[in-house]
Amino acid sequence: MKLFKPTLVALALVSVIGCQETKQEEKAPVLDTEVQKQAYSLGASIGMFTQRNLTEQEKLGLTLDKALILRGFKDSLAGKSAIEKEEIQALMMNLEQTMKAKQQEAATKAAEENIAQGQKFLEENAKKEGVQVTESGIQYLVITEGEGKKPAATDRVKVHYKGMFLNGDEFDSSYSRNEPAVFGLNQVIRGWTEGVQLMSVGSKYKFVIPSELAYGPNGNPPRIPGNSVLQFEIELLEIIKKAEAPKVGDK
C-alpha cells in the first residue's frame, strides 16, 4: 500500500528549497552527465509543482513548518522516522481532509460574495451606452455587426472568444491558443446558446452573462467560482450545418 500521494511526497522535497534560503549560498550543482541532469530536473520539477501547492495552502490559512517537513523527509530516507507508517498514513489523510474543508469554505465564501458583486455589476453595466438586455437577463454590446446568417440552437459554430471575470482577468481564450473553437450551440452554457443566436456571421459582441445562465451556484472548479457573472467577447466566424443523414436507397 502506498503511504503517500505524489503531491505529499513533493511536499517534503520542496522544503529543501525553502530551507536553503536561510543558509549560505551553495556551490552550483555538477551537471556534466545526462543522469546528473535528470536527477536535478526531477527535483526541480517536484519543487516547482509543490511550491505552487504550498502557496495555495498558505492562502487558505494552513502553513506547514518547512523545517519539520525536511526533518521528516531526511529521517525517512535514513529509515528512522519518528512516527510509525500507519500513523503517517492517517495524518496524511487528515491533512487532505483539512485542505478539502478549507477549499470548500473558501469556495462558499466566494460564491456568497459573488452574488452581491454580480448584481451590482449587472445594474451598472445595463446603464452603459449601447448595452442591450434580453428578456432572460443577458447583456450584450455590439462591437462589430456582421452581414451573414444567424445560427439556430441546433447548429454547430466556429468562434473566437475570450472569457473574463468582472475585474477583467481572463480565464479562457481561443485567441491565446491561436485556434477557433467549434461546438454545438446546444452543448454550452445557456447564456452562449441564447447569445450567439443573436449574432450574424462576421459579428463580434461583448456579453455579460448572469450566473444562472452560466455555471450557477456550483461554478466550474477550479477556474470559475460559484455565482460568477461572466464576461465574454465572441466573434462568430462560421455556421457549420449538420450533415443530413443519407436516405434509404442513396448510394
Which residues are the active-site residues?
161, 171-172, 189, 215, 232
Say how far apart CA 113 and CA 136 lie, in whole Å: 22
61 in Cβ contact with 28 (< 8 Å): no
Say how far apart CA 246 and CA 158 lie, in whole Å: 24
Q: Quote the longest CA-to-CA distance of the chain.
A: 82
Give the angle 34-37-42 at the CA atoms, nearest 5°: 125
